Structure 1
């Protein structure tokens, strides 16, 4: 579904990623954990086209449908079915909740992706995130931080994507909202949505994920099934002692 091979990327002369290789299989949740500055968000930005890889391959799909996307612009990658819910939410503050969600389906409305039933998917997104249902006519900028995070996630789902990148969905949220975010991620997983999750709460991420990668200084330090990483003494000591919730 998503295959990353020897990925190098950074910002100008600052190199952040030094040869990352990882896979996100179809209908699975893969999490990328690591300390601040390890390169997690840079990885997500390189995958979605927000920054360009300087070396390596990013491949979406499999077999005859496989496409290399590392040189593509973000809008072309989105049309192929990759949705990115970025760190920091980035909702359209002066537009309503409903209009933000409809914008998430824009490639479908322009037939750049199969259209399907956008109205039905809009209602599904609202039902999936009950707090948004109550505020569907509010301007996005008037929502709380937690509500804006849910809107960013719901907007990504409106693409009817083949894969979703979730970058720090619990950042800055109260514990009760963190629990709700992970409940929604678990539900999407049950529905077969393919996800790559970057998350500060490593324990919670490994609880919902099928597989995990640990990123240190722009390199993959270790990887394996999520349960294996949860029980790995070095991973526990570095990431699970203070980041569980």
Structure 2
């Protein structure tokens, strides 16, 4: 589905990623974990076309997307729920969600029924249904995160990139976000997940990669990584 091969990328002359390879199969959840500054968000930005790549390749359903502009990548079916939420603060919840479906509404990506998917998003995120006419900038941090995730689903995407969906949220909201991710997984949604709570990410994921200093240090089935002593010590608080 999504293949990242020998990818290098960064900012200006500073290279952050050094030839990483990641595969996200159809219908699976793959997580990318690592310490702050390891290159996780840079990976997501490179995949979605927010920053240029310097080497390697990225393909979505066999189509090369490396080097394409973000809006072209979205048309091909890749949705990005970015770090920091980035909702359109002066627009309503309803209009934020419709913007997620913009390529479909312009026939650039004619897939499915937008109206029915809007209702599905409201059902998946009931807090948004209650606040559909409210300005996005007046929502709580947790509600804005839900809006960012719901907006990504409105593309009816092939793959969703979820970058730090639990960042800044209270524990009860973190649990709610991961329940939604688990439900999307059950529905067959393909996801690449970057998450600061490695234990929760590995619990919901099928496969995981550990990123260290812009390189893949360890990879494997999520259950195997959860039981790896080195991964436990470094990212799971040394739990046993």
Normalising TM by the smaller chain, what interval?
over 0.9
The residue number in structure 1 matching 2:141 is 145
- Find the counterpart in structure 2 of residue 110 from structure 1: 106
- Give 1:74's match in structure 2, choosing from 47, 70, 76: 70
Alignment size in residue pairs: 240
| Aligned 8 A contact 1:47 1:70 in 2 | yes
Give the structure 2 partner of residue 50 of structure 1: 50
User: In structure 1, which of residues 199, 202, 218 is the aligned counterpart of residue 214 of structure 2?
Assistant: 218
Please give the secondary structure, in 1, of the residue aligned with 2:53: coil
TM-score with structure 2 setting the length:
0.99
Indicate if the aligned counterparts of 1:109 and 1:115 stay in contact, CA closer than 8 A.
Answer: no
Name the SS for the 1:181 alignment partner: helix
Query: SS in structure 1 opposite 2:134?
Result: coil
Give the SS at the match of 1:6: strand
Number of the residue aligned with 1:172: 168
* Displacement of 1:239: 0.1
Distance 2:66 2:45 in 1: 11
Compute the displacement of 1:115 (Å).
3.8
SS in 2 for 1:207: helix
- Quote how far apart the aligned CAs of 1:242 are: 7.1
Q: Is the 8 A contact 1:32 1:196 kept in 2?
A: yes
What TM-score do the two structures reach when normalised by structure 1? 0.97
Is 1:25 the counterpart of 2:25 in the alignment? yes
What is the CA distance between 1:114 and its match in structure 2?
1.6
Match of 2:117 in 1: 121
Does the C-alpha gap of structure 1 residues 127 and 242 become closer, same or farther in structure 2, counting only changes over 3 Å?
Answer: farther
Contact 2:111 2:156 in 1 (8 A): no
1:181 counterpart = 2:166? no
Of 126, 132, 135 in structure 2, the residue corresponding to residue 130 of structure 1 is 126
Partners of 1:189 and 1:102 lie apart in 2 by: 23
| 1:93-128: CA deviation from partner (whole Å, max 9, x where unpaired) | 000000000000000000011242111100100110
In the TM superposition, structure 1's runs of 4+ consecutive aligned residues that sit over 4 Å from their partners are: none
CA RMSD between the two structures: 1.2
Following superposition of structure 1 onto structure 2, how do residues 88-107 of structure 1 map, counting pairs within 5 Å?
88-107=84-103
Whether the aligned pair in 2 keeps the contact of 1:83 and 1:156 (CA below 8 Å) is: yes
* Consecutive unaligned residues in structure 2, runs of 5 or more: none
Quote the Cα distance in structure 1 between the aligned partners of 2:236 and 2:111.
42
Q: Does 2:162 match 1:162?
A: no
Which secondary structure does the structure 2 equivalent of 1:236 belong to?
helix
> What is the rounded CA distance, in whole Å, between the counterparts of 1:97 and 1:115 in structure 2?
22
1:35 aligns with 2:35: yes
User: Are the aligned partners of 1:214 and 1:220 in contact in 2 as well (CA < 8 Å)?
Assistant: yes
Q: Secondary structure at the match of 1:54?
A: strand
For 2:63 and 2:111, the matched residues in 1 are separated by 21
Distance 2:110 2:234 in 1: 44
User: Deviations along 1:47-71, whole A, 9 cap, x unmatched?
Assistant: 000001000000111xxxx111111
